[in-house]
Structure 1
Amino acid sequence: MNSIFSNTKWIYERIRQRAPKLRIWPVLNSIQLLVLVLLQSIIPSLVVWFLQNRITPVITGLCMTAICALVGALYWAQSVTQTWSYWENSVVRLSLMADDGDIFLSVPYQFVLDPDFKQQHLAAGEYGYGGDFSGVALFFPALADASAFLLSVLVATTILGQQSLLIPTVIVITVGIELILSRVFTDYREKIKANLFKLENQHKYFETSAYEIDLGQELRTYQLQAWYMEKLGLVQAKELRLRRRQRYSEALGDTLVGIVSAGRVCGIFYLLFLNFRTGSLTPAEFTFYFSIANIASGYLEQLSQSITQLRNASSDVSTGRVYLDGYSRYTTAQAESVKKVNETNAIGVRFDHVYFTYPHSSGSALQDINLTIQPGEKIAIVGPNGGGKSTLIMLLLGLFQPTAGQIVIDGQPIASGVPAYKTTGFSVSFQNDQLFADTVAYNVAVSDSASVVLVKKALEKVGLADVVQGLPQGLDSQMTRYLASDGLELSGGQTQSLLLARALYRDAPIQVLDEPTAALDALAEKNMYERYASAAENRTSIFISHRLASTQFVDRVVFLENGKILQTGSHDQLMASCPEYASMYHQQEAMYREGEPNEKSEG
């Protein structure tokens, strides 16, 4: 965990960049509070002095009115600056949330699948900067308040020390005790927070999953309501126990601090009383010192609370920094620009002894992959589910990094250059790709400067030209109903065709299609492959599929099982020499005769 000093420097740097005027707030806050302390201390003693010296009611009234007006103006100024500082501080917090999103969208894809990364990301948002009670939201206000209270208390202590050196001694000892108590209870809070965060995630899962449409079907079909409520109840019970311990510890801490504070007040007042008894203080002076001691005691309590809040906020800021600082190199500003490649010629690919293991996994997802894809070659990577097909493509695109070995694209190892997905050399259609809440044209081109001619050409290649032409707004029709109530909703097969059009629109040297026909029936699948084969001339094409229809339209088949390449060759060669491939083909052939299976799978 970072120190308060370290987090103060970190916060000030963000303020300097995003809300520089906010840096003067602690100074303004300290000056305003100090003047208020002095004025509030002077008023009672001034009244006593007026009485002692028989000042006329008119002059007394005028003086009191002027002082009260000044106090009122200071309170008004304090309110205005606090409101202003809240909005400026919110600018900083919201900018950090934007940084959070920028990092999440820019980190290598394999991080997104890492449970540790997910937990860091969730904790950073939950505690670091995700709301008005997060660390960043509370840290700077607590720092400004602590600074102001400390200055006022130091000035008050200096004034009181003129009467008795025992008074500063009492203040220092009691404040020290309060700081120790604050540290003890802050450390205890951290232990509870770590356990509470895990339970909150479990609680959120049960709360949100109950409202998911797909899961709702299973809950009702298998009558799992009682199971669901039991699991939710167990998590809630654990969470409530932890929250109860947290509240009790806070109450105990407040009680102990209150006892110390009360002892400090009584001690200071008793020392002032002794000085008054000896005649070293006039009634007006006693009233002044009594008032400033009373106000200082209140501010000491608030100083203690501010320091406690500052410690807690600093801990939460540190949680946010684990994510923001740890992955700050992965942002739009730091990222390489998209690299242009020679798009006129096909590009070759080579895997040299490539291994890959997922985070927190004991076994390798890919083992000793050696594969050369010639420029312009069309290959199908096939095999049973979980064989490593999609993982292979993630490595090719640079979304994953090999655990061992290297991948060479167009003669250059990808580890020494820009990741493939950041070049113009690839166009990709993933099985689970999503449509964007934008126009048909944007969904095909993924660009605001789409070529209408090329968009229409891509739609025609996948058989969607007539469908789109029949829409009232044609290419300008909105997709999905997230942003438009009349947005277009496509069937599963039409969605996959549109995603294939997206890949064809880019017309990159290497085209990758991951399960491109999973939502199509057998006839539509055959037509799709035939259209694609004619549209992708002079392009290196890689098909990923657990269905073997694609093998009829490619130059070579790569059969992958359990993370290993069992064999490569044409369809006929594999039918003759690879029993696993032949068995899989015959099983699918029998299923097609009985009826097209309607299923989706992941490689």
Structure 2
Amino acid sequence: MKQKDFLHTFKNNKFVFKYIWKLTPRRVLFDLIKNILHIVFFFFEQTYVYKFVIDSIQFKRPFYHVVLYMAALFMGWLILNRGTDLYETYYREKDEMKISKNILFEVYERAAVIDLIYYDKKEFYDDYVLNIKNIKERFFATYNSIISMISAVAGIVLYGGFIISADVFGIVLIFITIIIQYLLNRKSNKINFQRTMDLCPIDRVRNYVKRVFYLGDYASELRMGNISSKFFELNRTTTEDSIKLIKKSAKRLMPIDFINTFVMDNIAFDVIYILYLSYRSLILKVMSYGTIISLIRSQWSFTGSIGSLTSELTRMHENSMYIDKYKEFLAMKPMIKNGSDTLNNEKIEQIELKRVCFSYEKEKPVLNNISLKINKNEKVAFVGHTGAGKTTLSNILLRLYEIDSGEILINNKPIESIRLDSYRSRFSALFQDFYLYSASVKENIALDVTTDEARLAEAIRLSGFEEKFLTFERGADTQLTKEFDNQGVNLSGGEIQKLSLARAIYRDSDVIIMDEPSSALDPIAEYHLNETILKIAKDRIVIFISHRLSTTKIADKIFFFSNGEIIEAGSHQELMEQNGRYAEMFRIQAQKYDDGTGGNSNAK
């Protein structure tokens, strides 16, 4: 390992050791003391005992010497094992839970605040899945490697000291093999790490397939069609790809493992060293029988400690690469600028966009030169075909993305100057894909662990959810979904829609963004939803986003999007008189209503 790589690896492992020490110093002290004492007791029980007993026989020492030796050894093991049992029973699980909770909390906390644009990148998913899947285990693996390495060093010192005191040549032979085994182990770990990285995108697909088959969200559609065959095929192809990668790495690992285990361990150590000791004892007669046997056993333990040390050093290098991923993930900085100003009691009375441009990928603009103004209490509609940029603009207004160029003003203030929490608290959003959390009714509506009971009751009443709510025995504490609670409640599509509306009402915001929340509703339900929104939001700004134009007649302003640009703007009447793209789209949809294929009479 190059010096720079070694220092970087050492730094990452030091980071993990200090991390765990800070959380549970008791765990670290226990592991260090237990492992070092275990090495010492093991030496006196499995190695030195042969020299002591056989030499006592050979040189006719008193029997009580052996009795005292064995009694001291027994008492030492008894105390060590009893202490280990006490810790394992009362503290280990608690300490591990504390460490695991802290590690995962940091990952979840970072995931909750990083910019939404990361979720549009495949590389983010690979790194994020890798962190979520492995980081806790890698933290413990790194820590255990450090403890094992310290134990190995203790074993090397103890057994090496004994070997040197009796015979020096064995140490020379052992150290010749150390460098070779270290280099071989390092090569193996690099291959294993690359295999894990190559398997990550494949595992992401396989995990998606698994979710499709075990989540209830997909259960109905899977049974209504033959889409399951696609996922069977995905599972088959990804499994084959995984096997190919594993086979490829196995071919590279086989010769390395053969040299490492057979040549270095069996021939270099077992055969050559034992022959050497036998020659010194049987031919030269310069060693006692007890010393010979103890040296052979010391050699096994010493080489085992050396092997453990080299393995842990290379394993530390492998773990370090995962720790890098973890640290890189936590170091992700939000690109969305967070200002210092707050809106305080100031209501949002005007939103203005000036020449706003945005793209998810360079040279692929999604929004181009968008300029518009929305005034106090106005109801506006963003309309256009799917993919025109409507939802992207709503996410920008919610400050989920940072624009590439242009300017957005709130009450003539640049949004970059306003604190994100203050800004977002003034917006409510009803999304097309509304998700229920496996949590209580009140937590699903308030999106918080604390709730204002009066606001909650008002939101439930105004949203039309009250009739269903009154059937809940546990009221606002009723758990939604049965994922964690068999007493939980599953809601229908219409009930979920009302709950989403209650969420928007509870927030008591200045601006409500409705991103096609009625796309799954029938025309009558859509009409009632819009009427409810208008009723509760008469003194708020409302932004409707839709490609269904039955909603747009109630808007004060309509902005028609095409290919990321606003190509028409005005009221419904004005746009119909212009006889442009909006009028064409409206007439096509109205014709469907007249034909009885969709919509309602209000569309005309």
Which TM-score bucket, shorter chain as reference? Answer: 0.7 to 0.9
Q: 1:519 to 1:185 in 2, by over 3 A?
A: closer
| Farther-moved stretch of structure 1 (140-149 vs 246-255) | 246-255
- Indicate yes or no: 2:459 matched with 1:458: yes
* 1:143 paired residue number: 146
| Farther-moved stretch of structure 1 (40-49 vs 233-242) | 233-242
Number of equivalenced pairs: 588
CA contact (8 A) 2:131 2:325 kept: yes
- Indicate yes or no: 2:366 matched with 1:355: no
* 1:317 paired residue number: 323
How far, CA to CA, are the matches of 2:560 and 2:526 in structure 1? 20
* 1:394 paired residue number: 395
How far, CA to CA, are the matches of 2:177 and 2:299 in structure 1? 14
| Farther-moved stretch of structure 1 (431-440 vs 339-348) | 339-348
Q: 1:410 to 1:58 in 2, by over 3 A?
A: same
Aligned partner letter, 1:341? L
User: How far apart are 1:483 and its partner, in Å?
Assistant: 4.2
User: How far apart are 1:545 and its partner, in Å?
Assistant: 1.6
| Farther-moved stretch of structure 1 (524-533 vs 105-114) | 524-533
- Indicate yes or no: 2:129 matched with 1:122: yes
CA contact (8 A) 1:34 1:148 kept: no
* 2:379 paired residue number: 378
Give SS of 2:365's match: coil
User: How far apart are 1:282 and its partner, in Å?
Assistant: 3.6
Aligned partner letter, 1:367? N
Aligned partner letter, 1:18? L
How far, CA to CA, are the matches of 1:47 and 1:197 in structure 2? 56
User: How far apart are 1:598 and its partner, in Å?
Assistant: 8.3
- Indicate yes or no: 2:189 matched with 1:183: no
Pick from 297, 306, 318: which aligns with 2:303?
A: 297
How far, CA to CA, are the matches of 1:88 and 1:193 in structure 2? 29
Q: 1:478 to 1:141 in 2, by over 3 A?
A: closer
Q: 1:480 to 1:563 in 2, by over 3 A?
A: same
Give SS of 1:548's match: coil
User: How far apart are 1:76 and its partner, in Å?
Assistant: 5.7
Deviations 1:451-507 (A, max 9, x none): 444334334434444454465565555443334445444432332233223222322
| Farther-moved stretch of structure 1 (568-577 vs 535-544) | 535-544
* 2:242 paired residue number: 239
Q: 1:9 to 1:57 in 2, by over 3 A?
A: closer
Matches within 5 A, 1:203-218: 203-211=206-214
Matches within 5 A, 1:542-561: 542-561=543-562
How far, CA to CA, are the matches of 1:300 and 1:366 in structure 2? 62
How far, CA to CA, are the matches of 2:16 and 2:63 in structure 1? 52
CA contact (8 A) 2:377 2:539 kept: yes
- Indicate yes or no: 2:273 matched with 1:268: yes
* 2:95 paired residue number: 88
CA contact (8 A) 2:387 2:563 kept: yes
Matches within 5 A, 1:474-485: 477-485=478-486
Give SS of 1:371's match: strand
How far, CA to CA, are the matches of 1:97 and 1:585 in structure 2? 50
Q: 1:26 to 1:478 in 2, by over 3 A?
A: closer
Q: 1:163 to 1:345 in 2, by over 3 A?
A: closer
Q: 1:578 to 1:565 in 2, by over 3 A?
A: farther
* 1:17 paired residue number: 22
Query: Could you list the runs of 5+ residues in structure 2 that have no partner in the other structure?
Result: none
| Farther-moved stretch of structure 1 (250-259 vs 82-91) | 82-91
How far, CA to CA, are the matches of 1:176 and 1:157 in structure 2? 17
CA contact (8 A) 1:427 1:506 kept: yes
Pick from 49, 62, 67: which aligns with 1:61?
A: 67
User: How far apart are 1:358 and its partner, in Å?
Assistant: 1.4
Q: 1:418 to 1:344 in 2, by over 3 A?
A: closer
Q: 1:448 to 1:55 in 2, by over 3 A?
A: closer
How far, CA to CA, are the matches of 2:449 and 2:132 in structure 1? 31
Give SS of 2:53's match: helix
Query: Could you list the runs of 5+ residues in structure 1 that have no partner in the other structure?
Result: none
Deviations 1:502-524 (A, max 9, x none): 22232222222222332333334
| Farther-moved stretch of structure 1 (280-289 vs 406-415) | 280-289
* 1:516 paired residue number: 517
Give SS of 2:184's match: helix
Q: 1:416 to 1:35 in 2, by over 3 A?
A: farther
User: How far apart are 1:536 and its partner, in Å?
Assistant: 1.8
Q: 1:90 to 1:243 in 2, by over 3 A?
A: farther
User: How far apart are 1:345 and its partner, in Å?
Assistant: 3.4
User: How far apart are 1:186 and its partner, in Å?
Assistant: 1.5
Q: 1:13 to 1:63 in 2, by over 3 A?
A: closer
Q: 1:445 to 1:223 in 2, by over 3 A?
A: closer
CA contact (8 A) 2:54 2:290 kept: yes
User: How far apart are 1:128 and its partner, in Å?
Assistant: 2.5
CA contact (8 A) 1:128 1:135 kept: yes
- Indicate yes or no: 2:204 matched with 1:201: yes
How far, CA to CA, are the matches of 2:534 and 2:514 in structure 1? 12
* 1:99 paired residue number: 106
Q: 1:90 to 1:143 in 2, by over 3 A?
A: farther
Give SS of 2:551's match: helix
Deviations 1:262-287 (A, max 9, x none): 31344433444454443443444444
TM-score by length of 1: 0.86
- Indicate yes or no: 2:126 matched with 1:113: no
Q: CA RMSD in A?
A: 3.4
Aligned partner letter, 1:369? I
Deviations 1:124-150 (A, max 9, x none): 123322xxxx32221111221122112
How far, CA to CA, are the matches of 1:337 and 1:269 in structure 2? 74
User: How far apart are 1:175 and its partner, in Å?
Assistant: 0.9
How far, CA to CA, are the matches of 2:34 and 2:473 in structure 1? 61
| Farther-moved stretch of structure 1 (590-599 vs 12-21) | 590-599
Give SS of 2:370's match: strand
Aligned partner letter, 2:238? V
Q: 1:209 to 1:9 in 2, by over 3 A?
A: same
Aligned partner letter, 1:260? M
User: How far apart are 1:223 and its partner, in Å?
Assistant: 4.4
How far, CA to CA, are the matches of 1:171 and 1:193 in structure 2? 32
Pick from 156, 161, 168: which aligns with 2:159?
A: 156
* 1:345 paired residue number: 347
User: How far apart are 1:388 and its partner, in Å?
Assistant: 0.8
How far, CA to CA, are the matches of 1:490 and 1:86 in structure 2? 38
CA contact (8 A) 2:213 2:219 kept: yes
Q: 1:210 to 1:312 in 2, by over 3 A?
A: same
How far, CA to CA, are the matches of 1:311 and 1:244 in structure 2? 23
User: How far apart are 1:288 and its partner, in Å?
Assistant: 3.9
How far, CA to CA, are the matches of 2:28 and 2:338 in structure 1? 33
How far, CA to CA, are the matches of 1:78 and 1:266 in structure 2? 37
| Seq. identity, % | 21
Q: 1:237 to 1:501 in 2, by over 3 A?
A: closer
Aligned partner letter, 2:180? I
User: How far apart are 1:115 and its partner, in Å?
Assistant: 1.7
Give SS of 1:357's match: strand
Aligned partner letter, 2:520? A
